[in-house]
Amino acid sequence: MAKKKVTNLAMLEEEIIRLRHKSRGLENQLGERMDHLKSNYKSMAMNTVIPGVANSGVLGFVGKIAGSALKSGSVKSMLTSALMTAAEFIAVRFGIKLFNNIKQRKSRKKAAATGKEA
């Protein structure tokens, strides 16, 4: 559609109505695309990671079981506690290693300082 130059108030009102109608149509298209994305995002994500996995019967079945297990409160709490325990273990190991490195560095400096004086 060729753009017309708005010259009077009536043409302005017509253009406003036309643009409102166009924006409603674009909003409807966007809504339809969002609905499509919501209904297909799981298979899209799975196909991104491993192409063709969303259509396979075995892994699709495993995915459904994993999804239903994650909805369960007891499984969520068990996984959360396991992850927290692993995080605490890693943090403690990292802290001990860091402490030992600092201690060894200080003892090397001390030994170097006493070695120079003698």
Q: CA 13 to CA 77: how far, in whole Å?
A: 60
Single-letter amino acid code for the residue at 36:
H
Nearest to 45 by CA among 72, 63, 62, 31: 63
Answer yes or no: do 67 and 112 share one domain: no
Q: CA dist 92 to 48, 85, 95, 105, Å?
A: 36, 11, 5, 20
Answer yes or no: do 46 and 101 share one domain: no
Predicted TM-score (pTM) of the model is 0.38
Residue 62's pLDDT is 62
Answer yes or no: do 5 and 34 share one domain: yes
Q: What φ, ψ does residue 23 adopt, rounded to 5°?
A: -65, -35
Q: Write the pLDDT tens digit of every residue in 67-116.
A: 676 677 777 777 778 888 888 888 888 888 888 888 888 888 888 888 76
Stronger pLDDT, 117 or 25, i.e. the higher one = 25
Residue 12's pLDDT is 92
* SS3 state at 51: coil
Answer yes or no: do 63 and 112 share one domain: no
What's the rounded mean pLDDT across residues 10-25?
94
How many domains are there within the chain? 2
Answer yes or no: do 32 and 86 share one domain: no
Residue reference for tokens 């969303």: 54
Phi-psi region of 99 (alpha: psi -120 to 50; beta: other; left: phi over 0): alpha
Answer yes or no: do 53 and 86 share one domain: no
Residues of the domain holding 20: 1-71
